Amino acid sequence: MNKNFEIEVVDLVKKYKELVAVDHLNLSVYENEIFGLLGPNGSGKSTLINCILALLRYDQGKVYIFGEEMTATSFKIKQKIGYVPQDIAVYEELTVQENIDYFCGLYIFDKHQRKQHVDEAIDFTGLDKFRKFVPSKLSGGLLRRLNLACGIAHKPKLIFLDEPTVAVDPQSRNRILEGIEDLRKQGSTIVYTTHYMEEVEMLCDRLVILDQGQVLVTGSSEEIISNSSLAQSIDVVIFDLTDSVLNILEQEPEISHLTYQDAKLSFKTNSNRYTLLDLLNLLEEHNLKPVSVSSEKPTLNDVFLEITGKELKDNV
């Protein structure tokens, strides 16, 4: 157990008869970070979250939250956790305000304090105009905001957000994403699952890619992309490129798919070992000035496909 971690999962195993859903998995989440949990459908994400929250019994391993072992009876720990599921989990017969008050009341018993928390959650998610609406009268985006408000109204220290922006309008999506950043600024640690790679790259400090119940890779988006075997594409428009410079480039082991035609130089390279700066320095040494330079690095989605061989969007 490392007390510097908000969550620490140690050698976790969860089986469903012959199926190993979580396979000797180790994972750690630091305090006050946004941690992305990615994986294709069936990779073990939901099972892992349910095990961390002690909603599922597992076969082996330990889970620590806030430096203490998490069990089904860890009520003091659970009071500091918020969970916003992918499926909308609100009561149809209650209004927006009544729903948020109900879920907040599971943790906050003082009526005055609870009212303040509910008002803040409504303001936080932009639902003030919809306080008296029942869920059936809300759009999909507003329902997502209500789902979020119900999960965070009690001001949890640790929040699990499972696909919070699925099938929402752009306005609600932006509101939710801005809200997630604000939650972190207020001191929360967030575990975030999504199939939108741009959200991961924009929000998450670190992430893990799971498949078949195992951690395939972990780190920041930049680290994972940089450490992949995928190549960066570089295109340069340059006139009068000499044979000697072309020969130098052809001999560079980190360069592949080199072509020079109609004044356009193109090649692929591992950006860790041969960079655009290396090329520009080479051209300068030979008194060659490019007309234009462009590069395209692999994306997180490219790396995900390389690692898992599966589209994350299959997980919608």
The per-residue pLDDT for range 137-161, each reduced to its tens digit, is 999 999 999 999 999 999 999 999 9
CATH code at position 276: 3.30.70.100
Assigned domain for 310 exists: no
Q: What percent of the chain has pLDDT over 70?
A: 96
The per-residue pLDDT for range 35-63, each reduced to its tens digit, is 999 999 889 999 999 999 999 999 999 99
The per-residue pLDDT for range 157-175, each reduced to its tens digit, is 999 999 998 888 888 888 8
Strand (E) positions, 88-247? 158-162, 189-193, 206-211, 214-219, 232-237
Are 181 and 37 part of one and the same domain?
yes
Q: How far apart are CA 51 and CA 43, in angstroms?
A: 14
- Count the neighbouring beta carbons within 10 Å of the beta carbon of residue 261: 7
Q: What percent of the chain has pLDDT over 90?
A: 76
Q: How far apart are CA 145 and CA 143, in angstroms?
A: 5
What phi and psi, each to the nearest 5 degrees, are found at residue 141?
-65, -40
CATH code at position 91: 3.40.50.300
Assigned domain for 307 exists: no
User: In whole numbers, what is the pLDDT of the chain averaged over residues?
Assistant: 92
Are 80 and 99 part of one and the same domain?
yes
Assigned domain for 313 exists: no
How many structural domains does the chain have? Answer: 2
Are 117 and 37 part of one and the same domain?
yes
Could you list the residue range(s) of the whole structural domain that residue 249 is in?
232-297
